[in-house]
């Protein structure tokens, strides 16, 4: 069933597991994420980034996810990922998204607080929960995200930010990157603990792809309740397609799409199991 993202994350917070938020771009990615979540009996967050708005019919996409969610036994959330424009957020709220991420991380703290609070006020009137970010992720390999400067989240500022914006969950920058790591990942779990001690809203880890399993497990122990996955699923599909076209010069698109869906299943399942923290 379609579920309120805040409720789903509050439950994850109290029971110490994390919910996978998969970035999706089309019907196939949505289907695999929801089908695998149902198979594993875990909640799932379907995340559409503002950057895909030019090529995705947002209202049609939302209707599709809501209809699939309605016949699903596990909670399914529909989340707007990394939105920079107020218009995109209002469009997502109007079309039935259950949460939105406003990314004002490029601004100075005061400005970020000002803009985020404005979004929180609008979203809460519609019963939609809000994620925001302070600090900023750098960009690794194979990423499709905006370049950030890699500033880690300051725990005291995180406390001030949450108190003044009334945001429902917070993306903390602790050293993960958007995309795959180039070299050894340098994740600051002690910093995560400090942030955890300052704020009581669920914390979100962006850049889950390529992060070693033990770091994921420890980050869940230290309060991470939502983990975003984009690049690794994309890579599984793309490498499948590269091999497929080397061996099959003529094919039909329907076959390719169905096979690609299958190629994404193991990687999606791997993350759902890891985050369930059983
Ligand atoms: Zn992100």
Distance 228 CA to ligand 1 centre (A): 7
Contacts with 236 (C-beta within 8 Å, 6 or more apart), sequence order = 263, 264, 266, 267
Distance 245 CA to ligand 1 centre (A): 31
For residue 159, what pLDDT is reported?
97
Contacts with 147 (C-beta within 8 Å, 6 or more apart), sequence order = 138, 139
Distance 206 CA to ligand 1 centre (A): 5
The sign of the torsion formed by the CA atoms of 217, 77, 143, 202 equals: negative
CA nearest to 17, candidates 43, 48, 35: 43
User: Taking CA 118 as the corner, what is the angle to CA 61 and CA 1, rounded to the nearest 5 degrees?
Assistant: 35
Contact 68/102 with Cβ under 8 angstroms? no
Distance 72 CA to ligand 1 centre (A): 26
For residue 277, what pLDDT is reported?
84
For residue 61, what pLDDT is reported?
98
Superfamily designation of domain 5-276: Aldolase class I (3.20.20.70)
For residue 249, what pLDDT is reported?
84
Radius of gyration of the chain (CA): 18
Distance 253 CA to ligand 1 centre (A): 30
Distance 246 CA to ligand 1 centre (A): 33
Active site residue 57: no
For residue 187, what pLDDT is reported?
87
Catalytic site residue from 81, 103, 154, 168? 81
For residue 143, what pLDDT is reported?
79
Distance 178 CA to ligand 1 centre (A): 6
Distance 247 CA to ligand 1 centre (A): 35
> pLDDT per position in the chain (278 positions), as tens?
999 999 999 999 999 999 999 999 999 999 999 999 999 999 999 999 999 999 999 999 999 999 999 999 999 999 999 999 999 999 999 999 999 999 998 899 999 999 999 999 999 999 999 999 988 777 788 877 776 777 899 999 999 999 999 999 999 999 888 888 888 788 899 999 999 999 999 999 998 888 999 999 999 999 999 999 999 999 999 999 999 999 998 889 999 999 999 999 999 999 999 999 88
Name the pTM for this structure. Answer: 0.96
Place of tokens 């980034």: 49
Distance 254 CA to ligand 1 centre (A): 31
Phi, psi of 31, deg, nearest 5: -60, -45
Q: Which residues are near ligand 1, the ion (C-beta closer than 5 Å)?
A: 206
For residue 141, what pLDDT is reported?
80
Contacts with 143 (C-beta within 8 Å, 6 or more apart), sequence order = 177, 178, 179, 180, 230, 231
């Amino acid at each position: 069933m379609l579920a309120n993202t805040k409720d789903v994350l509050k439950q994850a917070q109290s029971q110490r597991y994390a919910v996978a938020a998969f970035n999706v771009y089309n019907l196939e990615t949505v289907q695999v994420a929801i089908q695998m979540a149902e198979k594993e009996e875990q909640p799932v967050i379907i995340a559409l980034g503002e950057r895909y708005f030019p090529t995705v019919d947002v209202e049609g996409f939302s209707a599709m996810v809501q209809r699939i969610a309605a016949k699903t036994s596990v909670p399914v959330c529909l989340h707007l990922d990394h939105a920079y424009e107020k218009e995109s957020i209002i469009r997502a709220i109007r079309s039935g998204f259950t949460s939105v991420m406003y990314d004002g991380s490029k601004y100075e703290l005061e400005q970020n607080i000002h803009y985020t609070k404005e979004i929180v006020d609008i979203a809460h009137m519609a019963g939609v929960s809000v994620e925001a970010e302070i600090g900023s992720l750098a960009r690794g390999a194979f990423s499709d995200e905006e370049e950030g400067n890699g500033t880690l989240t300051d725990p005291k500022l995180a406390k001030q930010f949450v108190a003044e914006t009334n945001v429902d969950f917070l993306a903390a920058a602790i050293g993960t990157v958007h995309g795959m790591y180039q070299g050894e990942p340098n994740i600051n779990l002690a910093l995560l603990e400090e942030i955890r001690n300052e704020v009581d809203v669920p914390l979100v880890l962006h850049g889950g792809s390529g992060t070693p399993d033990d770091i994921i497990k420890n980050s869940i122990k230290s309060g991470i309740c939502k983990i975003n996955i984009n690049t690794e699923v994309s890579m599984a599909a793309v490498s499948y397609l590269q091999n497929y076209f080397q061996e099959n010069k003529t094919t039909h698109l329907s076959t390719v799409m169905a096979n690609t869906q299958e190629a994404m299943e193991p990687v999606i399942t791997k993350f759902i199991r890891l985050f369930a923290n059983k």
